[in-house]
Structure 1
Amino acid sequence: MENRKTVLISDLSEGKTSPRVIATDWQRIPYTCREFSGVMVMAHGTMSVPDICLDPKLTGWYRIYTGMLHTVGDEGADNLTGFALSGDRFPRYFEHYYQGNFDRAPLIAEAFWKAADMTGQSVRIIHPENGRPCLSNAAYLKFVPMSGEEVAEELADWADASRKKLIATHDMHAAFCKNPQTTEDLVAEIAPFAESDASHIMLEYYFDAKDPAFTDWFFTSMDGYETFAGTGDRFFHTSRAGFVARGEDPYPAMAEYARSLGMKVGFAYRVNMFAAHPPWDIGFNAKIFRENPQWRCVDRDGSEIARLSFAFPEMAAVMFDLFRRMIRSGADGVHLLFCRGVPNILYEKPLTDAFYAETGLNAFELDEEDERYIDFRCRYFTENFMVPLKQAIIDEAQKLGRKEKPFLSVHALADRRTNRFFAIDLEDWAARGLVELAVAYPSIMHAPDDFCYNKQQTVDLGFYAWLTEHYGLATAVDLLPRGVNPAEIVRRANEVYDAGIENICIWDTYSYPHRKAFWPVVRRLGHKKMLKDGSLLAPPMQFTEVLSMNGLKVDKYNPWWCL
């Protein structure tokens, strides 16, 4: 290691003094700990401040750690700080959320950032400025030298394709809620996945920038309300509208960058995201739904269901057009989010008439789970929607001169019974070669009037393992780890692999890279050995007690009265 030593940079002041909050520069806060002292930097709210720039004057490879004050944030503000090396295209943002008791002194949380060759590189510390209030801080940077053997292991790990077992999802709503103004702002959303085990990334598709009329008619929006559910939703609306007004399509650049990182790119759609009951109708109230009541789903009792039915050829044609647009915008394939959009076909006239013509039976007189009607509904949906959809995206790719056929993948439901009830016939689709990947999502039907969204750990692992074994269909299980700790994520991942399923999916994967306790686990869910031996759960953070800040003693009588 050429006698290189660990370097701790705890004075981030750039030689400046600004201990009080001012609107145009970072607050520079002298602090002391038991073993070292320094000057941390902090920026509040919507302050516009220059980046902190530091040159550690290092050569060779180092593991880099950030030290951030682990405290509650400003009320109503994000808690994010950006860090970037001079050679990085995009910063990495980390949260400094508080986990602990209010009777404790403030802590500095140290977490791993990245391994990098620091030769000739400087560091920037960044306060996000996108119109949303944000509290940013940094207390120190630590550089731990790597041996030649460690560097070789790191590079080999990055190049190991066998670990690419993570199916990443990005709903893109969160991206637009950040108020992106350029394509580059959205491409940055992909950057954290460079350090992950992701083989695929599924990006939700929210507009066709080249066709404002279609975008206005088809996609959910808040047009005409003159009010928004929150600041994020306002930005979601205004930033998307800006891209459409400029005719600027960010999706091709996002796809190109993801491919440069070794991922396949699917553009995803929640297959019936047209309407919702209050209060969600402020965002889910598309014109296509309002203007076409004749295309709505019909239940067994003849009542209308707030979905549009793909049994109607006109509606199916609209969906085929949507997915062709995705291919034109640069997707390697399309991903159907059935987990956020069933039913899509129930008892509509084209379907029930065809059933009667073939069987002489009245579907409305049968039990809801009568296998004769379930079988027919599955076959009808396969032949009238899935087969032509597959052909439509293949034809579109051929028009564009692509050599590789686009993939078709799905987020399906928890078990065979639930899937088939909603006409998701994974066995038939696998046998016909219609889908290349099926992700199991924990939404399950206990009875036709008892369908549970987001019911964690309800996936029938045996069924999905059998699909792979019998048909060769690639499968994954969405762990949906909401409200659980990293240890539980590891346990669930091991359970999936032990069942014979080869891939893991994490819903809203984009929500983890800034979470320092979670990302070290989530990004490496393809590392089976580390999952098994427990090394993936090595402490992601180290904590150092702060004794004083800005001359105030905080270790004994900590002033939590402000909260």
Structure 2
Amino acid sequence: MIDKLTRREFERLVGFTMIGSSMPSLGTDAEAGPFVSTSEDSRAVYEANRETQPGALPPWADVVAGRWANASKATLLIDMSVCHPVSALSPQAKTGYWQVVPYELAGGTLGKLLWAALEQRAPEIRLPLRVKGWHAIFVGIYATVLGPSTLWLKLDGDVSAQPRTSEEYAPYGSFTEVFFKVAELNDTTLYIKQQSAGAAFSAGLVNVKLIPLSNEEISGFLADRDQRTTRRLATTNDGVGYLINHRPTTVEDLLREVEVFRHTDFGTLLLHVGGADGLNYPSQYGHMLSDHMDGYVYPDPTYKQYGEAVRELAKKGINPTKVLIEGAHALGMKVHVGIRPALWTYYEPLQRFFDSPFYQAHPEWRCVDRDGTPVARMSWAVPKVRRHLVDVLREAVGFGADGAHLVFCRGVPVVLYEPSFLEIFEKRYGEDPRKLDEESDPRIKQAWVEVVTTFIREARAMLDEEQNRRVDGKHLELSVMVFGNEYNNLLYGLDVRRWVTEGLIDEIFLDQWGIGSKKAGVDIDFFLDVCRPKGIPFFPSYTVFSPPAYDNTISQALSWYEKGVHGVVFFDAGGEKVAQGTVVSRLGHVDELRLRDAKESGAPKPVVQIRFHRLGNLVMDGRFPPIGGG
């Protein structure tokens, strides 16, 4: 059993000097280090973190509290019962309230944390910070064995809140210290909210640490924040997940989805509208997903949350796609709105939710495989199908986007052996393609290339028309997300070389794990050969986390940059994993990559844990803590 820390050991670890046994008042300067530990190894790590090495990353790029120059001058707010309104607080866990729980840390510090269980539906509360100047803000987040704890945080003047989460559960008797942001404070108020809508989470706030920046840190941070040369990262947003997970019903709720990209290296948002013509807003051309669920049971509570969100937004006249376009523009991001050509319907029990009326009305225009098997796609060999999708894109771009995007890695095939294609092929070659070998006869894929390229030309023409209609005359871009090598792309008629040669597309994004790929790997040299002569940027795909199937590393990203790649793209990046201060948020800082561990993936690092001595009326760090029966 680990021995209890003495007061002096605790003070040395956290840099917080105790005066007698009294609790410091709010606003008192406190030397607050990153964690409380009872192991010599952890102490060594802490001491190493405090040192500033030549050539080391700036503290806002590798955020550990002890690395800031003035970490010893931090203000530590530990009594969360001073939050307003007081009427939102209760000593008991009750619906509509935050529960106040007294605690004591290992060194004798007394405080009060706030807790809201998953279904507690606690209201938004406010904490006055009572300091001035530039500060690095950290929050202590408490979680239990029941699951992670998430807080939505924002300051006065912030457009919307950002999430911060503990580990899935904090080790028994501890809480997690999490970086929020760097901000200039002026007796600013911190707003704290539980996520009760959508995928609800419990929420626990233990303390707030405010570290004043040195003059050198202020100037360095501002210079880094205001430059744009590193904004070489792009991300997709599938247009569905955030409406399920958060059930937003206001403009501020929606803006949470892009607020996490503020002051990061993300410069491009590839905003999917939902499906092929399934959208998250009422449309003249497509249909709003869930709009024909009246009288039917949703297949899952999460899809019901989506339906409730988009319907309430539509009733209020709020278009989520338009709001995200405007929100991203306010951050200096470029936005391409995109469709997923394959998503016309889905298998049960999701069919009614996703079913496209256009798809259902025209079975004669669907794709058909060479053996006659019907395929749940609409054929681009049919001019009216292409026109329908161009109209969907035209409407979405008209909300103010900077271009259109085609998500081929979620949308092939778009042409097979249906009657419309047979007619094209037989007219050109005088043969039935179903009687030819698909692998050995190049004419089949070449005919598919002609069909797909025809659509690309039509989309390009639509963007040119929209560009001429706009007052600013700014060039509207066409981008594609394709497979990572030429072989996989040509399997489905995607001739990237031809599109670039004809000047049809402006940017290319690669998906290493696209649905339908047959050959593994990303051929960077092929895309360099195709894109570099025409000055077309292309972006290999990365991942925000690192499950076993993905092996992206810092060294891989660096090797891409050194070869001449413009940037990297993430599929559905979002939330705190990409927010200010994370490794992912700074993957556009190429010089910084050389200072990081080459084996890192950008996955979240092990977090800082702080131990409780007493929680409520229970001692947590004695020889026999209150966990043995669990």
Please, what TM-score do these two structures have when normalized by structure 1?
Answer: 0.88
Matched, 1:180 2:248: yes
SS of structure 2 residue aligned to 1:141: strand
Measure how far apart 1:59 and its partner are.
Answer: 1.5
Q: Which residue of 1 aligns with 2:587?
A: 525
Aligned mates of 1:347, 1:61 — CA distance in 2: 64
Q: Is the 8 A contact 2:612 2:620 kept in 1?
A: yes
Q: Is the 8 A contact 1:42 1:136 kept in 2?
A: yes
Distance 1:465 1:33, change over 3 A: farther
Q: Which residue of 1 aligns with 2:98?
A: 26
Counterpart of 2:210, as a letter, is F
Select 1:193's aligned residue among 261, 265, 287. Answer: 261
- What do residues 367-393 of structure 1 show as CA deviations (whole Å, max 9, x unaligned)? 2132222123212321x2110111112
SS of structure 2 residue aligned to 1:32: strand
Distance 1:481 1:129, change over 3 A: closer
Select 2:296's aligned residue among 226, 230, 235. Answer: 226
Distance 1:338 1:124, change over 3 A: same
Distance 1:10 1:246, change over 3 A: closer
Counterpart of 2:75, as a letter, is V
Select 2:567's aligned residue among 503, 508, 528. Answer: 503
Aligned mates of 1:280, 1:444 — CA distance in 2: 22
Distance 1:525 1:480, change over 3 A: same
User: What does residue range 439-458 of structure 1 map to in structure 2 within 5 Å?
Assistant: 439-443=509-513, 451-452=516-517, 458=521
Counterpart of 2:92, as a letter, is R
Select 2:177's aligned residue among 107, 110, 118. Answer: 110
User: What does residue range 381-396 of structure 1 map to in structure 2 within 5 Å?
Assistant: 381-382=452-453, 384-396=454-466
Aligned mates of 1:513, 1:481 — CA distance in 2: 10
Matched, 1:294 2:367: no
User: What does residue range 530-549 of structure 1 map to in structure 2 within 5 Å?
Assistant: 530-534=592-596, 541-549=607-615
Matched, 1:554 2:616: no
Matched, 1:429 2:499: yes
Measure how far apart 1:6 and its partner are.
Answer: 1.0
Distance 1:14 1:219, change over 3 A: closer
Matched, 1:464 2:537: no
Q: Which residue of 2 aligns with 1:448?
A: none
Measure how far apart 1:498 and its partner are.
Answer: 4.0
Select 1:56's aligned residue among 129, 139, 142. Answer: 129
Aligned mates of 1:116, 1:195 — CA distance in 2: 11
Moved more, 532-541 or 403-412: 532-541
- What do residues 31-61 of structure 1 show as CA deviations (whole Å, max 9, x unaligned)? 2222333211111234343433222321111
Q: Is the 8 A contact 2:577 2:584 kept in 1?
A: no
Q: Which residue of 2 aligns with 1:406?
A: 476
Q: Is the 8 A contact 1:208 1:325 kept in 2?
A: no
Measure how far apart 1:113 and its partner are.
Answer: 1.0
SS of structure 2 residue aligned to 1:163: coil
- Count of matched residue positions in the alignment of Structure 1 and Structure 2: 546
Aligned mates of 1:151, 1:467 — CA distance in 2: 43
User: What does residue range 210-289 of structure 1 map to in structure 2 within 5 Å?
Assistant: 211=282, 214-216=285-287, 219=289, 223-224=293-294, 226-281=296-351, 283-289=353-359
CA RMSD of aligned residues (A): 3.0
Select 2:451's aligned residue among 356, 380, 402. Answer: 380
Distance 1:495 1:300, change over 3 A: farther
Matched, 1:346 2:416: yes
- Higher-Rg structure is 2
Distance 1:239 1:3, change over 3 A: closer
Q: Is the 8 A contact 2:124 2:193 kept in 1?
A: yes
Counterpart of 1:125, as a letter, is I
Measure how far apart 1:29 and its partner are.
Answer: 1.1
Moved more, 432-441 or 64-73: 64-73
Select 1:14's aligned residue among 64, 82, 90. Answer: 82
Distance 1:68 1:219, change over 3 A: closer
Q: Which residue of 1 aligns with 2:201?
A: 134
Measure how far apart 1:479 and its partner are.
Answer: 1.7
Measure how far apart 1:219 and its partner are.
Answer: 4.8
Distance 1:209 1:529, change over 3 A: closer
- Gap runs ≥5 in structure 1: 446-450
Counterpart of 2:561, as a letter, is Y
Counterpart of 1:438, as a letter, is I
Distance 1:59 1:259, change over 3 A: same
Distance 1:515 1:554, change over 3 A: farther
Q: Which residue of 2 aligns with 1:160?
A: 227
Measure how far apart 1:431 and its partner are.
Answer: 1.0
Distance 1:391 1:452, change over 3 A: closer
Measure how far apart 1:145 and its partner are.
Answer: 1.2
Matched, 1:41 2:107: no
Measure how far apart 1:523 and its partner are.
Answer: 1.3
Measure how far apart 1:313 and its partner are.
Answer: 0.6
Aligned mates of 1:368, 1:559 — CA distance in 2: 68
- What do residues 174-201 of structure 1 show as CA deviations (whole Å, max 9, x unaligned)? 2211222123321232111112211101
Aligned mates of 1:515, 1:562 — CA distance in 2: 39
Distance 1:544 1:247, change over 3 A: closer
Q: Is the 8 A contact 1:479 1:492 kept in 2?
A: no
Q: Which residue of 1 aligns with 2:236?
A: 169
Distance 1:368 1:523, change over 3 A: same
Distance 1:523 1:49, change over 3 A: same
Matched, 1:148 2:215: yes
Aligned mates of 2:318, 2:499 — CA distance in 1: 36
Aligned mates of 1:232, 1:313 — CA distance in 2: 36
SS of structure 2 residue aligned to 1:41: strand
Counterpart of 1:471, as a letter, is K
SS of structure 1 residue aligned to 2:309: helix
Aligned mates of 1:215, 1:557 — CA distance in 2: 63
- Gap runs ≥5 in structure 2: 1-68
Please, what TM-score do these two structures have when normalized by structure 2?
Answer: 0.80
